Amino acid sequence: MTPTSRTRIAAVIGSPVRHSLSPVIHNAAFAAHGDDWVYGAFEVQPEHAAAAIDAMRILGIAGLSVTMPHKEMVMAALDEVSPVAALVRAVNTVARRDDGRLVGHNVDGVGCVDALTRAGADLSSVAVIGAGATARAVVAALAAHGASVHVANRTPARRDDAVRIGNAARTGSTSGVELSAVGECATIINTTPQGMRDVSPDTLPLDAAMLHGNQTVLDAVYHPLETALLRAARARGCRVVDGLDMLCAQAARQQELWLGRLPDVGLMRVAALDELAKSQR
């Protein structure tokens, strides 16, 4: 579909965003559904995160995805923040209401739960490694879903903060654990950057010896698609869910906020895989 003056604009802001697969994922879904929307990517330095919200307001941008390190920085510039985003203190989606007000949401957590549910993961007991913005959203969503959530993080204060958020989502749902105890859970989620191509591609966030075949392991990292953690988990017989599944699931939830319908997540994943294949030629 050729963009016109009536085409609605959506985009991702972050720093860096050159590696982002979000434009490919969203544009594939827009095209499949016949939406007169187009999605781009804007490199925004951290000190300009709030100004990017003002630009969205002035330019009439219809939807915004917010990635690191801006998820907390944009909140004060918004007209309204959803209860979930307020609880986890992070926004990853901005939707424009019919009256022009800009509302911040966080769908990282529900996207993670969606990806795990599609994979058939056992969500009765879930370990979350990390306590940053993504981890807080995941913990809150898992707690609200009914899981028994166990948070491991090397900084006790940050771990305890994530635990408080989980228990605010559902009383008695969440506890803090040592990293050595996460192997007792049915599902393990890594939300740390360990395993990321440009950070620490060969490191694991846990001891692989604690993994076993009855578990599901999700790594939120998707550069590379198969991280060292997922390779180790696969070798030990675990069900694995990669970061691309989570990315596509939360992108689908973003489109639900913008357009009132859920797109085909499988189609979004295929588009992303095609783009990754091109980049590796």
**Number of Cβ atoms within 10 Å of the Cβ of 180:** 11
Q: Which residues pair with 245 in a beta bridge?
A: none
The residues assigned a catalytic role are 71
Q: Rounded to an integer, what distance in angstroms lies between the CA atom of residue 265 and that of residue 111?
A: 11
CB neighbours of 174 closer than 8 A, spacing ≥ 6?
139, 143, 149, 150, 151, 162, 163, 165, 166, 167
Q: 180 in the Ramachandran plot: left (φ > 0), alpha (ψ -120 to 50) or beta? A: alpha
Quick one: which of 132, 134, 162 has its CA closest to 149?
162
Q: Rounded to an integer, what distance in angstroms lies between the CA atom of residue 53 and that of residue 94?
A: 9
